[in-house]
Amino acid sequence: MKKIHSKIDKNNKVISIRGLKKAFDDFEVLKGVDLDLFQGENLVVLGRSGTGKSVLIKIIAGLLKADEGYINVLGSDIMKIMPKELDELRLKLGFSFQNSALYDSMTVRENLEFPLIRHVKNITRKEIDSRIEETLDAIGLSQTINQMPSELSGGQRKRIGIGRTLILNPEIMLYDEPTAGLDPITSMDINNLINEVQERYNTSSIIITHDLTCAKSVGDRLVMLLDGQFQYQGTFEEVFEKNDERVKLFYNYNFIE
């Protein structure tokens, strides 16, 4: 399998966060979050609904501003970054939103072409075509190139959405609830894709989820957001062996559903 980014240094921090705080009016969502993401790793952020997981990745992507803290992403200090530098940084981040909608009136090819035309200066037709082919191959959907989104299954649409992000060769992928709304088999398919993307593109990824099967399948390391801070981190087993009622509740409810 061809690697897109070839060199990784697993000790290199691509994201480093210290003391991050964020409140909306009087409601403190993040109360001093510390987090490191190392190059090439899949880091899963777990937490119940409304604990601030999406807020966290929006702050990392510069879509929301933190109230306090140090946030370094790929060497840039997000709290002090200038708008032009932020635009350049965002191109190195692939953001797969919870409901990453495709453009319904465009074919798969056109959906994938869109970010290239918009963000890659002076790109040639030949390069556009080869990047589309390479991306479709990576997500296993070469045969859908001329189809409309309405002709695809939910899982396929999700894959194309991830492909549309990957086509810009991001260094960091931010997945927000990648398996939300998918059946267990399609979810497993997406989990496999996340692992394949890590393998093929050498991306570093943050995966936000409350789906424990997803967390177990993709996470090299897990962190759990509880009461506005990361309380536990480690492998799946290390996190879930904690003798904490909140962790046990989270685990039990996941498998009762």
Contact region for ligand ATP (CB under 6 A) — 51-59, 112-120, 196-204, 235-243? 51-59
Name the residue nearer to ligand ATP (CB basis): 52 or 178.
52
By C-beta, is 50 or 184 nearer to ligand ATP?
50
- Per-residue CA distances from 204 to 9, 64, 168 (Å): 11, 21, 15
CB atoms closer than 10 angstroms to residue 222: 25
Q: How far is CA 198 from CA 153, 175, 244, in A?
A: 24, 12, 32
Determine the size of the site formed for ligand ATP (CB under 6 A). Answer: 11
Site for ligand ATP in 165-204 (CB under 6 A): none
Which of 49/150 has CB closer to ligand ATP? Answer: 49
Of 4-12, 53-61, 100-108, 115-123: span binding ligand ATP (CB under 6 A) = 53-61
The Cα–Cα gap between 50 and 54 comes to 9
**Considering only 4-12, 44-52, 109-117, 211-219, which stretch makes contact with ligand ATP by CB under 6 A?**
44-52
163 lies in the binding site for ligand ATP (CB under 6 A): no
Nearest of 13, 16, 43, 47 to residue 30 by alpha carbon: 47
212/224 Cα distance (integer angstroms):
12
Establish if 206 lies at the interface with ligand ATP (CB under 6 A).
no
Decide if residue 30 touches ligand ATP (CB under 6 A).
Answer: no
Q: Out of 35, 55, 139, 223, point to the residue binding ligand ATP (CB under 6 A).
A: 55
Q: How far is the CB of 52 from ligand ATP (least distance, A)?
A: 4
Q: Select from 52-60, 108-116, 158-166, 199-207 the region that touches ligand ATP (CB under 6 A).
A: 52-60
Q: Does 143 bind ligand ATP (CB under 6 A)?
A: no
Distance (Å, whole) CA 174 – CA 60: 9
Q: How far apart are CA 6 and CA 205, in angstroms?
A: 16
Closest CA to 224 of 199, 204, 250: 250
User: Which residue shows structure tokens 């959907």?
Assistant: 141
Q: How many CB atoms lie within 10 A of CB 151?
A: 12
Residue range at the interface with ligand ATP (CB under 6 A); choices 36-44, 47-55, 193-201, 248-256: 47-55
Give the residues lining the site for ligand ATP (CB under 6 A): 24, 29, 47, 49-55, 210
